[in-house]
Structure 1
Amino acid sequence: MNKTKLTAFLLAAGLSVSGVAAAETFGAAAQNQQGAAQTVAAAKKLADDHKVVLEGSIVKKTGHEHYEFRDASGSVTVEIDDDDWRGLSVTAADKVRIEGEVEHKRGGQVEIEVDRIVKL
């Protein structure tokens, strides 16, 4: 490889690596910008697929893998797959942290699809 081609290659490789780093930084910034809703009321105002972390209580089961989650600001339906419980047992008196994503359903209903639940 002659010196000009080598310089062009190294320059392109450097830009490629810096582009990846910039994309990773942008991705992290975008994720931080989304942030985590602190309340049910705030979560209900977020767009689909927005990641949320909420703390409150599972007050009752409303259907297969569906529950009512409540905090001081209100309540929302959460979907917790059977395998996501990982043997955890909670009552309405227990405080839990849920991590998941906002889903807008037909009729304007908001639901949180839970990826992780932890008893506090």
Structure 2
Amino acid sequence: MKSTYLKPLVMAALLLPSFSILAEGGQPMGPQQGYTSMTLTEATSAADDSLVSVRGYIVKRLSDDEYLLQKNTDSLIVEIDDHLWQGIQITDQHEVQLQGEIDQDWDRTELEVRWLKVLTQ
């Protein structure tokens, strides 16, 4: 009788880690392959739908999920959905690394962030 209850528990324990690394929509969390590291200026002129990785400082909140990312004199608008923050608290003194997809509109360029990491504490 005990082995009947033990098998489902063992299976659940084995499967749980594989589910914990998935974000909303079944997308893996963490840095991904295929993203090109570039400066904010390069990202601003990158082709629509390019997968890019950038670093900088979030210096201003523009709207509910849009922020201004700066490094030196370069800047880029980034869109960060609430679920990506995962309770992270930052100031404009924290350098971050962001990975996402470039969205080129007729009037501006923005990075739709898929992953973020705080580089400085």
Q: Normalising TM by the smaller chain, what interval?
A: 0.5 to 0.7
Aligned to 2:75: 75
Where does structure 1 lack aligned partners over 5 or more consecutive residues? 1-30
Match of 1:110 in 2: 109
In structure 2, the gaps of 5 or more residues are 1-32
**Whole-Å separation in 1 of the counterparts to 2:73 and 2:114:** 22
- Alignment partners' CA distance in 1, 2:100 and 2:89: 19
Return structure 1 stretches of 4+ with deviation > 3 angstroms: none
Shift of 1:71: 1.4
Residues 43 and 73 from structure 1, CA distance in 2 versus in 1: closer, same or farther, beyond 3 angstroms?
farther
Greater radius of gyration (CA):
1
- Give the paired residue count: 87
Please tell me the residue identity of whatever aligns with 2:86.
R
Give the superposition deviation at 1:73: 4.9
Q: What are the within-5 Å matches in structure 2 for residues 1-120 of structure 1?
A: 36-107=36-107, 109-120=108-119
SS in 2 for 1:89: coil
Take 2:73 and 2:60, find their aligned partners in 1: how far apart are those partners?
17
Q: Following TM superposition, by how much is the alpha carbon of 1:72 offset from its aligned partner in structure 2, in angstroms?
A: 2.4
Secondary structure of 1:93's match?
A: coil
Kindly indicate which of the two structures has a greater share of residues assigned to helix.
1
Deviation at 1:36, TM superposition (A): 1.2
Q: Percent identity?
A: 32
Matching residue's letter, 1:114: V
- The superposition leaves residues 57-108 of structure 1 with CA deviations (integer Å, 9 ceiling, x where unpaired) of 000100010000011251011000011111111100100000101001232x
TM-score normalised by the chain length of structure 1: 0.67
